[in-house]
C-alpha cells in the first residue's frame, strides 16, 4: 500500500494567522458599539421603580378582595343548595306523618295508654292498642327529628344572611380606580424607556451581525484544524494499514502453508516410525506406508526420525531387570537381563528402538519370547493409524480451511 506523505504545517499556519487578524478587527468594532451603548445611558428610571413598588401592594390587595369575594360567592351558592335540600327533607317528613303537630300525637298516645290501664279491653283489642302505641312512639321520634331539621334550617338561613352581608364590591372598585390612575403614569414613563430600548436594539442588531461573523470565523478555524488533523490521521492510518496488511498477508501465507501441510495424509510420520519398528522386530513385515530405510531406526546419531521425535531429554521407562550396556561392540544398546526361566534368551535393543517403543507406549520386551507380543502391539498401532487416517486428515484440512476463511473474512472487513 502506497504511503501518504506527512502533511506540512506551513499552509495551515498562514491561514490560521489570517483568521486571527479578522477576529481582532471584529473585536475593535464591538468596542465601538459598547461606547455608543454607554452614551445612551441606562434604561432604568427611579420614578418608575418607585411607582412599581406602589402598584404591587395595591394589586395584591385587589387580588385578596377578588379571592375573598369569589370564596364568599361559592359559600353562598353552597349554603343556598343546602337550605333547599333541608327544606325539601322536612316537607317530605311532614307529608308522611298523619298528625299535624306533636301535641295531637301525644294526645292520641295518652288516650291509648289510659284505655290499656283500665283493663276493659279484650285480648285482641289490647294487642291492637299495643301495636298502635308502638307506632305512635316511632312517629313521635320522627317529629323530634323534624324539629332538629327545622332548627338546622334556621341556622343555615342566618349563615346565608351573614355571607351576603360580607360580600363587598365597593372596596374592590375603589382599589381598581386607584390602580388605573397609577397605570397611566407608569405607561408614560415606560414610553420614554422604550425609545432608549429601540436605540439599544439597533446596537444589539449590529452586535449580532458581528457575533455571526465571529462564529463563522471560529467555525472556519475549527474546520481548518479538523482538516489538518484529518490529514495527519490519514497519514497515520496509512502507516497502520500497511503494517496490518503485511501482518495479514503473512498470516494468510502461513495459513495456506498449514492447509497444504494438512492435505498430506495424517499420521504419516507415526506410520513411518511404527512400521520401521515392526521391520526391526519382524523383517518379514511388508510396509504399507512410504518410510525411510531401516537404517533410520538403527543408526546412531541425530538423523534418526525417532531421535528427532523423542529428543535427547525424553524420559524412558525401562522394565526392571533391563540394563544399558556400554561396550564397543554394542554401542547405545539396551540388553535384557537373562531370564531365570530355562531356555530364555537375552535380547539386545538399540537405544533408538527403546525410545521408539516408549514413545508409542509399547512395553519393552525382556527377552526374545516377548517379541511376538511386541509385534502384535505395533501391528495394532499401525492398523489404528490407517483406520483413523482419513478422519484425522479431514479434521486437519477443516481446521486449516477455517483458519484461512477467518483470515479472508478479516481481510474483507478491513
Q: Tens digit of pLDDT for each residue in 204-259?
A: 999 999 999 999 999 999 999 999 898 888 888 887 887 877 777 777 787 777 77
| Contact of 150 with 90, CB cutoff 8 Å | yes
161 and 217 part of one domain: no
% of the chain surpassing 70 pLDDT = 75
What DSSP state is assigned to residue 349?
A: E
Q: Distance between CA 68 and CA 72 in Å, rounded?
A: 6
Q: Which range is least confidently modeled, 114-128, 292-306, 388-402?
A: 292-306
Half-sphere exposure of 13 (CA within 13 A, CB side): 4
> What pTM was computed for the model?
0.35
Q: What pLDDT score was predicted for residue 281? A: 93
| Contact of 291 with 276, CB cutoff 8 Å | yes
What's the burial of 401, exposed, middle or buried (CB within 10 Å: 0-12/13-18/19+)?
Answer: middle
Q: What is the enclosing helix (H) or strand (E) of 325? A: strand 322-327
Asked if pLDDT for residue 312 goes beyond 70, the answer is no
148 and 200 part of one domain: no
Q: What pLDDT score was predicted for residue 48? A: 83
| DSSP per position, 128-180 | HHHHHHHHHHHHHHHHHHHHHHHHHHHHHHHHHHHHHHH---HHHHHHHHHHH
120 and 223 part of one domain: no
32 and 66 part of one domain: no
| Among candidate residues 139, 168, 197, the one where a domain is terminated | 168
Closest CA to 344 of 316, 321, 312, 376: 321
| DSSP per position, 353-372 | HHHHHHHTTPPPPSSGGGHH
Residue 212 lies in a domain: yes
Q: What pLDDT score was predicted for residue 204? A: 92
Asked if pLDDT for residue 313 goes beyond 50, the answer is no
Domain that holds residue 390: 268-338+345-413
For residue range 15-64, what is the model confidence (pLDDT) as tens digits?
Answer: 999 999 999 999 999 999 999 888 887 777 788 888 888 888 888 888 88
Asked if pLDDT for residue 261 goes beyond 60, the answer is yes
126 and 100 part of one domain: yes
Instruction: Tell me what the pLDDT averaged over the chain comes to.
Output: 77
Asked if pLDDT for residue 180 goes beyond 70, the answer is yes
Q: What is the enclosing helix (H) or strand (E) of 56? A: helix 46-95
Q: Rounded mean pLDDT of 184-200?
A: 87
**C-alpha cell, 330:** 554394542
Residue 409 lies in a domain: yes
178 and 300 part of one domain: no
Q: Distance between CA 85 and CA 414 in Å, rounded?
A: 87
Asked if pLDDT for residue 98 goes beyond 80, the answer is no
Residue 60 lies in a domain: yes
- CB-based contacts of 238, cutoff 8 Å, min separation 6: 1, 2, 3, 4
406 and 275 part of one domain: yes
| Among candidate residues 145, 168, 191, the one where a domain is terminated | 168
Residue 3 lies in a domain: no
Residue 72 lies in a domain: yes
Residue 286 lies in a domain: yes
Q: What pLDDT score was predicted for residue 102? A: 61
Q: Rounded mean pLDDT of 250-274?
A: 82
Asked if pLDDT for residue 112 goes beyond 80, the answer is no
| Among candidate residues 255, 277, 309, the one where a domain is terminated | 255
Residue 244 lies in a domain: yes
Q: Which range is least confidently modeled, 17-31, 73-87, 302-316?
A: 302-316
Asked if pLDDT for residue 328 goes beyond 50, the answer is no
184 and 212 part of one domain: yes
Q: Distance between CA 284 and CA 373 in Å, rounded?
A: 16
237 and 297 part of one domain: no
392 and 251 part of one domain: no
Q: What is the enclosing helix (H) or strand (E) of 373? A: helix 371-413
How many domains does the structure of the chain reveal?
Answer: 3
Q: Distance between CA 258 and CA 403 in Å, rounded?
A: 9
Q: Distance between CA 373 and CA 384 in Å, rounded?
A: 17
35 and 143 part of one domain: no
Angle at CA 252, nearest 5°, toward 249 and 257?
A: 125
| Contact of 184 with 40, CB cutoff 8 Å | no
Q: What pLDDT score was predicted for residue 339? A: 44
Length of the chain: 414
Top-confidence residue, 43 or 193: 193
What's the burial of 306, exposed, middle or buried (CB within 10 Å: 0-12/13-18/19+)?
Answer: buried
80 and 209 part of one domain: no
In the three-class reduction of DSSP (H, G, I as helix; E, B as strand; rest coil), residue 392 is classed as helix
Q: Which range is least confidently modeled, 153-157, 321-325, 347-351, 352-356?
A: 321-325
Q: Rounded mean pLDDT of 379-387?
A: 93
Asked if pLDDT for residue 5 goes beyond 90, the answer is no
- CB-based contacts of 244, cutoff 8 Å, min separation 6: 414
Residue 2 lies in a domain: no
Amino acid at each position: 500500500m502506497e504511503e501518504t506523505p506527512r502533511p506540512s504545517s506551513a499552509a495551515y499556519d498562514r491561514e490560521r494567522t489570517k483568521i486571527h487578524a479578522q477576529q481582532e478587527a471584529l473585536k475593535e468594532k464591538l468596542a465601538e458599539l459598547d461606547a455608543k451603548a454607554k452614551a445612551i445611558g441606562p434604561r432604568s428610571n427611579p420614578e418608575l421603580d418607585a411607582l412599581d413598588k406602589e402598584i404591587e401592594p395595591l394589586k395584591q390587595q385587589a387580588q385578596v378582595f377578588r379571592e375573598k369575594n369569589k370564596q364568599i360567592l361559592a359559600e353562598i351558592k353552597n349554603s343556598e343548595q343546602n337550605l333547599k335540600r333541608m327544606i325539601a327533607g322536612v316537607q317530605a317528613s311532614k307529608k308522611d306523618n298523619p298528625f299535624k303537630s306533636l301535641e295531637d300525637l301525644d294526645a292520641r298516645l295518652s288516650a291509648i295508654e289510659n284505655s290499656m290501664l283500665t283493663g276493659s279491653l279484650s285480648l285482641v283489642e289490647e294487642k291492637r292498642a299495643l301495636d298502635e302505641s308502638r307506632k305512635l312512639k316511632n312517629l313521635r321520634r320522627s317529629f323530634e327529628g323534624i324539629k332538629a331539621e327545622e332548627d338546622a334550617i334556621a341556622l343555615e338561613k342566618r349563615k346565608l344572611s351573614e355571607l351576603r352581608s360580607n360580600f363587598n364590591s365597593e372596596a374592590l372598585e375603589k382599589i381598581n380606580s386607584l390602580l388605573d390612575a397609577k397605570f397611566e403614569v407608569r405607561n408614560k414613563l415606560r414610553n420614554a424607556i422604550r425609545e432608549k430600548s429601540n436605540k439599544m436594539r439597533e446596537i444589539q442588531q449590529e452586535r449580532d451581525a458581528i457575533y455571526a461573523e465571529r462564529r463563522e470565523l471560529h467555525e472556519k478555524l475549527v474546520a481548518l484544524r479538523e482538516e489538518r488533523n484529518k490529514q495527519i490521521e490519514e497519514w497515520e492510518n496509512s502507516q497502520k494499514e500497511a503494517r496490518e496488511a503485511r501482518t495479514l498477508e503473512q498470516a494468510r501465507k502461513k495459513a495456506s502453508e498449514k492447509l497444504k501441510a494438512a492435505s498430506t495424509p495424517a499420521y504419516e510420520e507415526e506410520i513411518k516410525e511404527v512400521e520401521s519398528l515392526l521391520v526391526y522386530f519382524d523383517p518379514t513385515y511388508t510396509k504399507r506406508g512410504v518410510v525411510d530405510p531401516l537404517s533410520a531406526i538403527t543408526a546412531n546419531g541425530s538423523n534418526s526420525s525417532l531421535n528427532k521425535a523423542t529428543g535427547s531429554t525424553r524420559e524412558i521407562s525401562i522394565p526392571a531387570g533391563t540394563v544399558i550396556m556400554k561396550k564397543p561392540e554394542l554401542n547405545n544398546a539396551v540388553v535384557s537381563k537373562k531370564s531365570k526361566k530355562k531356555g530364555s534368551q537375552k535380547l539386545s535393543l538399540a537405544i533408538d528402538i527403546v525410545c521408539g517403543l516408549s514413545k508409542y507406549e509399547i512395553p519393552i520386551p525382556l527377552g526374545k519370547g516377548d517379541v511376538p507380543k511386541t509385534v502384535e502391539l505395533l501391528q495394532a498401532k499401525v492398523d489404528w493409524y490407517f483406520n483413523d487416517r482419513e478422519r484425522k486428515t479431514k479434521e486437519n484440512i477443516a481446521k486449516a480451511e477455517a483458519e484461512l476463511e477467518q483470515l479472508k473474512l478479516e481481510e474483507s472487513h478491513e
